[in-house]
Amino acid sequence: MNMTISIPRQVVAKLRRRAKASGQPLPDYTAQIVRHAVQGPTLEDLLAPVQHDFAHSGMTEPQLLNLGRRLLHRVRAESKD
């Protein structure tokens, strides 16, 4: 099926660069991105196990946020090494 969509110039420029880097024609590369976006899991699907574990952990939301901040700080510190 063929479709016509409007894409902002800046996005088209980025798509062109990425298509060229991947060695694909722009229409093929764009169709591949759309296919992956539609066929892949949704954000809700990806987060469902984490949400389930959090709900059963007994951890409060502030505790979870604090844990996330500590992990982010650790990752950033390790990436500087």
Q: At what angle do helices 9-22 and 26-39 cross, to 10 degrees?
A: 100
Q: What is the reported pTM? A: 0.56
Are 17 and 7 contacting, i.e. CB atoms less than 8 angstroms apart? no
Domain borders along the chain are: 9-39, 43-80
In whole angstroms, give the CA distance from residue 66 to residue 51.
16
Judged on CB neighbours under 10 Å (0-12, 13-18, 19+), 77 is: exposed
Q: Which residue has the tokens 């759309």?
A: 34
In whole angstroms, give the CA distance from residue 24 to residue 43.
27
- Is the pLDDT reported for residue 81 higher than 80? no
Q: Looking at residues 20-35, what average pLDDT do you find?
A: 96
